[in-house]
Amino acid sequence: MDMDKTLFWIGHASFYIKTDNGTIFIDPFNIGSAIREKADLILITHAHYDHCNKQDVMKVMKPDTEIICAPGCFKDGDFKNFMVAEPGFRDKFRGTQISAVPAYNTAKERLAFHPKENRWIGWIVDVNGFNIYHAGDTDFINEMKSLKNIGASLLPIGGTYVMTVDEAIEAAKAINAQHAVPMHYKQLLGKDGSAAAEEKFRKGLKNALVMKEVQEPKYGF
Q: For residue 86, give the CATH number of its domain.
A: 3.60.15.10
Q: How many CB atoms lie within 10 A of CB 74?
A: 18
Please give the pLDDT value at position 98.
98
- Strands of the sheet containing 22-26, edge to edge, are 7-11, 14-19, 22-26, 41-44, 66-69, 82-84
Average of per-residue pLDDT across 114-119: 98
Q: How far apart are CA 38 and CA 141, in angstroms?
A: 33
**Global pTM value:** 0.97
Which domain does 14 fall in, by range? 3-204
- As a whole number of angstroms, the distance between CA 152 and CA 209 comes to 9
What is the structure's pLDDT at 28?
98
| Amino acid at site 147 | L
- The predicted model gives 145-149 an average pLDDT of 97
Q: Return the pLDDT at 26.
A: 98
Residue 78 within any structural domain of the chain = yes
User: Strand runs (DSSP E) across the chain, as ranges?
Assistant: 7-11, 14-19, 22-26, 41-44, 66-69, 82-84, 90-93, 96-102, 121-127, 130-134, 150-156, 179-183
| Residue 97: band (very low, low, confident or very high) from pLDDT cuts 50, 70, 90 | very high
Alpha carbon distance 37, 9 (integer Å): 12
Mean pLDDT in residue range 141-164: 98
Q: Is 20 part of a structural domain of the chain?
A: yes
In a domain, 118, yes or no: yes
CB distance 173 to 150 below 8 Å: no
CA dist., res. 2 & res. 91, Å (int) = 24
Answer yes or no: is 216 within a domain. Answer: no
- Does the residue 129 lie in any domain? yes
Measured distance between the N- and C-terminal CA atoms of the chain, rounded to whole angstroms: 29
Asked whether residue 22 carries a pLDDT value surpassing 90, the answer given is: yes
Q: Do residues 168 and 201 lie in contact, with contact meaning Cβ atoms separated by under 8 Å?
A: yes
The number of distinct structural domains making up the chain is 1
In a domain, 40, yes or no: yes
Q: Which residues of 2-26 are buried (b: 16+ CB within 10 A; e: fewer)?
A: ebeebbbbbbbbbbbbebeebbbbb
What whole-number distance in Å separates Cα of residue 56 and Cα of residue 16? 13
Is 140 contained in some domain?
yes
Does some domain include residue 89?
Answer: yes
